[in-house]
Amino acid sequence: MNATVIVFPGSNRDRDMIAALTAIGGKPPRVVWHQSDALPPSDLIVVPGGFSYGDYLRSGAIAARSPIMQKVRERAEAGVPVLGVCNGFQILTEAGLLPGVLMRNASLRFVCREVKLSVENTDSVFTSGYRPGAVIRCPVAHHDGNYFTDDETLARIEGEGQVAFRYAQGTNPNGSRNDIAGVFNDRRTVLGLMPHPENLIENAHGGIDGRPLFEALLKAA
């Protein structure tokens, strides 16, 4: 799999993502610095977690407007799978590649803990490795993960099967509407999620529930 990881100043889970892609994909992804105006041919583009530009403005707002994101948008339109995790999810919503916004957690505090996720739609290159209706473990670590959209958009994404993951069994850590933890674009080729599947891929992490996501992408590539 030819994966590419986009790195902004302030990205900090880029190394975790690179480690996961390397361990599961069998070769290290290419790493593209935000100032680059060239994006290599890729089977998968990943926008990793972190605090791009410090997130002193709205999380992801500045990164979404950097030149490299124009290239990412072009690839996404061409159908290349794009995965955004945590800050990457925030960046993809700010870039308009995914519906909704991520507000400050309802508790107003950063939260790092393990949650349960139900896999809501397995019909995508990201989620096809999970059983329909599966409930998996996954850690979260964020300050701004409170997913919000207006009623109309919410009805649409719910109706169109764009909800990829939902916090399950009362583990919603941030106040997200409808317990939404991850959403697709309308073609289900772009996925953004707040939890960190890259931090649950080997026994040292205490579980491997994040692996099927990467394995499915590898299979599709």
Which is closer to another protein, CB of 25 or CB of 100? 25
Give Cα separations from 189 to 13, 49, 63, 83, 109 (angstroms): 22, 19, 21, 9, 32
Q: Which residues contact 180 (CB under 8 A, 6 or more apart)?
A: 100, 147, 163, 165, 166, 167
Instruction: Return the range that interacts with another protein (CB under 8 A); candidates 52-60, 121-129, 151-159, 162-170.
Output: 52-60
Q: Please, are residues 187 and 214 in contact by the beta-carbon 8 Å criterion?
A: no
* Binding flag, residue 144, another protein (CB under 8 A): no
Nearer to another protein, 20 or 68 (CB): 20
Query: Least Å distance between CB 45 and another protein?
Result: 21
Please select the residue that binds another protein; options are 137, 143, 166, 188, rule is CB under 8 A. Answer: 143
Catalytic residue among 86, 120, 138, 205: 86
Q: Which amino acid is at 168?
A: A
Number of residues that bind another protein (CB under 8 A): 30
Instruction: Point out the catalytic residue in the list 34, 142, 143, 196.
Output: 196
Work out whether 13 is an interface residue with another protein (CB under 8 A): yes
Binding string to another protein for residues 105 to 124, with x set by CB under 8 A, is what? --x-xxxxx-----------
Using DSSP, state whether 71 is helix, strand or coil: helix
Q: Does 167 bind another protein (CB under 8 A)?
A: no
CA distance 169 to 179: 10
What H or E segment, with its residue span, contains residue 64?
helix 61-64
Segment 193 to 212, residues that bind another protein, using CB under 8 A: 196, 198-199, 204-205
Answer yes or no: 34 catalytic: no
At 35, phi and psi to the nearest 5?
-85, -10
Name the residue among 133, 119, 122 with its Cα closest to residue 216.
Answer: 122
Neighbours of 63 (CB within 10 A): 29
Q: Give catalytic status of residue 112 as yes or no.
A: no
d(CA 175, CA 82): 25
Which residues are catalytic, by number?
A: 86, 196, 198
Residues that bind another protein (CB under 8 A): 9-10, 12-13, 15-16, 19-20, 33, 35, 50-51, 53-56, 107, 109-113, 139, 141, 143, 196, 198-199, 204-205
